[in-house]
Structure 1
Amino acid sequence: MIVRKDAIIVGGGIHGCSTALHLCLAGLKPVLIEKDYAGRHASGVNAGGVRQLARDVAEIPLSIRSTGIWESIADLVDDDCGFESHGQVLVAENETELTACRARVADLNARGFIHEELIDGTELRRLVPAVAESCPGGVVSRRDGAAQPARTTTAFRRKAEQLGAIVHEGVPATNIRKDGKLWRVEVGTESYAAPVLVNAAGAWAGRIAAALGEPVPVETIAPMLMITSPVAHFIDPVVILRGRKLSFKQFKNGTVLIGGGHLATPYQDRNATVLDWRKLSESARTVAELFAVMRNATIVRAWAGIEARMRDDIPVFGPSAVHEGLYHQFGFSAHGFQLGPGAGAVMAELIVHGGTQTRIGDLSIARFRNSSPSTTA
């Protein structure tokens, strides 16, 4: 028997779950299909950064849209998701980096964006008192913060199901195809049909896009994270560096989460990753150099999650350039967590109303129409 739904969403990360929830809020009844469980990879094991700071200009309107939702997240999903807003600070380690920060903020201001603010050494040390005296300043985005990723993804999934979404976990979507005006998908012994298909399958979304005639240059990555033993409280904002790959934040219990972009080796078909301890030690040394309080901390645990990175480091988001009723929502390139709530709202607007007031044109899959796919797994 074929079950008819309003939309089929493949992928149960924060993006798929957010889209399912927002479609339910718009009166539609979607089915969400996740081959593992919601938040198994990128959405559940990332650093939880909720940042507008240091984003590609093409992403900023979607990020701003999402910030407004984060600030009242409990009203949407009945859970505050551990969201705290102490700002995020990009630290310039030298005058050359501070000059680049100055140019970045000036460019954003000229485009009408005011969320990033240049700060001098005095303000940097007010916000991050323990930072090395050699750092001359940086940039702050004061409304930014962090949340708990697995808790957040689960909250979106739970609320979507409460509002009428059917959720399948532990069984992959197979035989995805267009049948007349409807999309068809098999889930175990069940078959679903809908006029809308949302490809939100994370690291596996590139395969789906290619199978449907829209190959894109995407690779599979596995960003690494590690957490330390507790140390005395020394920081409230999330701190990031650009010259050296680093981001970190301190939890209330004193532990410090360290990330920033170093990659493990992903084995996509096995759902597994192998950590690069040499790169992890680089991150640990960088933290110790900038913050003396961290020099006696020990690493308690490290991990990585599998996700997709686009060649230009910005996501594929919006309608298919080939098929009616197909929408893509993937390739968030290790910085998609903050975008999840807003992306789901915008995707629902695209599906229900055929358009959105949030500017997303530069994220279209059409930008890759004449490029080679070079997909890696």
Structure 2
Amino acid sequence: MTTRIVIVGAGIHGCSAAVHLSLLGHQVTVIDKAYAGRHASGVNAGGVRRLGRHPAEIPLAMAAWKRWQTMHDFVGEDCGFRPVGQIKVAESESDMEHLALREKQLQSLGFDHEYLIDGDELRRRIPSVAQHCPGGLACDGDGYANPYRTVTAWRRRAQQQGATFYEGIEVTNLEPHRGGWNVDAGGQRFYADIVVNCAGAWAGTLCERLGEPVPLRAEAPMLMITERISPFLQPVVGATSRPLSFKQFENGTVLIGGGVRGIVDTQRNLAETRLDGLAENADTVVSLFPFMAQVRIVRTWAGVEAVMPDQLPVIGHSAIHHNVIHAFGFSAHGFQLGAITGEIVSDLVEQSEPSLPIAPFSIRRFHND
């Protein structure tokens, strides 16, 4: 029998869930108070990485990475995926010791996708990196994709399979009804056998309405893009002791991002940049690539991300409602995982045991009783 499913949130995770659930023949409705990819999924740094993942996330990241290799076959385009590799650069011997411990930890867990490289190998791969850098940690096959193209491709595939999207309307109420849910949004009422919470930074509000609040906070990762310059960089670069996501696109522009946050206002659905934070990221870049001091920044922006205290997402069934599934709180590193999230959600809807371990992501970890 067809299940009526309402997905709240049309970011990459909501669109991924819509694709997989509509593929199974379910009646899927996606509701977003803005539009697909507006606040996080379509405006992030686009990292497709296994490098640096929390051990609990590695199985999901590995599975998602495999899906990225055949993205075109699944959603009709490659989403700008470029497997150029990623390198976390060490700026000191202390950084190298830290990276060596990371490599050893992963090996003890049975993973070998991250490995140390020395200074000579670092400069072979990144000739323009500062001379004081003694090496790094590399992950071949990681890379980046175009966020907005990716969200749009997943949305279009879901629509082609019969999913319906309602944008610009906000969920204002949920109430139990005949074993399912009445979902009120934008003056309309939708009935759902199952509700899927992919509402990102606003997922906490939904959880409160469901009676299971979570300690979610909204943050605003900031990004900068430069003028076009001559090619100098292939892999995506991160720093070991400082926040950084640094990459050069095929058109010559350079994206500078990382963990530096701006100002977020969830009531007005806005994120603003902070000049001091942008300066901090710029200083990191100039430390690693001195010539960048002469390059002009042409645009800056900030997204709105849902961040959990332990930096891990919430994925799985509600703790108190059998017909609610959560997939939110990816803490500014969930873009790549969108390729696998929908599969997990569809397994949960079908009452199948997910093929990937999701126990660490249960919402129950925030409940003491």
In the other structure, the counterpart of 1:10 is 8
In the TM superposition, residue 60 of structure 1 has moved relative to its aligned partner by 1.0
Map 1:145-294 onto structure 2 (within 5 A): 145-294=143-292
- The answer to whether the 8 A contact 1:5-1:193 is kept is no
Alignment partners' CA distance in 2, 1:178 and 1:92: 53
Letter in 1 for 2:224: M
- Any idea what the Cα deviations from partners look like across 1:9-57, whole Å, max 9, x if unmatched? 0000000000000111222221111111000000011000111110111
In the TM superposition, residue 121 of structure 1 has moved relative to its aligned partner by 1.4
Q: How many residues align?
A: 368
Q: Which TM-score applies when normalising by structure 1?
A: 0.95
Tell me the SS of whatever aligns to 1:38.
coil
- Any idea what the Cα deviations from partners look like across 1:210-238, whole Å, max 9, x if unmatched? 22111111111000000111222111111
In the TM superposition, residue 293 of structure 1 has moved relative to its aligned partner by 3.1
Letter in 1 for 2:184: E
Tell me the SS of whatever aligns to 2:350.
helix
Is 1:102 aligned with 2:100? yes
Unmatched tracts of structure 1, length 5 or more: 372-377
Alignment partners' CA distance in 2, 1:199 and 1:107: 34
Tell me the SS of whatever aligns to 2:127.
coil
- Any idea what the Cα deviations from partners look like across 1:317-365, whole Å, max 9, x if unmatched? 1111111011111111111101111111111112114311111110111
In the TM superposition, residue 127 of structure 1 has moved relative to its aligned partner by 1.7
Tell me the SS of whatever aligns to 1:198.
strand
Is 1:136 aligned with 2:142? no
Cα separation, partners in 2 of 1:98 and 1:342, compared to 1, 3 Å: same
Tell me the SS of whatever aligns to 1:55.
coil
- The answer to whether the 8 A contact 1:231-1:255 is kept is yes
In the TM superposition, residue 189 of structure 1 has moved relative to its aligned partner by 4.1
- The answer to whether the 8 A contact 2:86-2:139 is kept is yes
In the TM superposition, residue 5 of structure 1 has moved relative to its aligned partner by 5.2
Letter in 2 for 1:118: L
Letter in 2 for 1:13: G
In the TM superposition, residue 187 of structure 1 has moved relative to its aligned partner by 3.0
Tell me the SS of whatever aligns to 1:76.
helix
- The answer to whether the 8 A contact 1:128-1:236 is kept is yes
Letter in 1 for 2:9: G
Between 126-135 and 187-196, report the one with greater CA deviation. 187-196
RMSD between aligned alpha carbons?
Answer: 1.3
Letter in 2 for 1:89: I
In the other structure, the counterpart of 2:311 is 313
Between 262-271 and 118-127, report the one with greater CA deviation. 118-127
Alignment partners' CA distance in 2, 1:39 and 1:83: 17
Map 1:298-309 onto structure 2 (within 5 A): 298-309=296-307
Q: 1:361 aligns with which of 341, 359, 362?
A: 359
Alignment partners' CA distance in 1, 2:107 and 2:339: 25
In the other structure, the counterpart of 1:328 is 326
In the other structure, the counterpart of 2:82 is 84
In the other structure, the counterpart of 1:41 is 39
Between 288-297 and 101-110, report the one with greater CA deviation. 288-297
Tell me the SS of whatever aligns to 1:295.
helix
Tell me the SS of whatever aligns to 1:45.
coil
- The answer to whether the 8 A contact 1:91-1:139 is kept is yes
Identity of aligned residues (%): 49
Alignment partners' CA distance in 2, 1:26 and 1:293: 52
Alignment partners' CA distance in 2, 1:281 and 1:189: 44
Alignment partners' CA distance in 2, 1:10 and 1:155: 18
- The answer to whether the 8 A contact 1:200-1:328 is kept is yes
Unmatched tracts of structure 2, length 5 or more: none
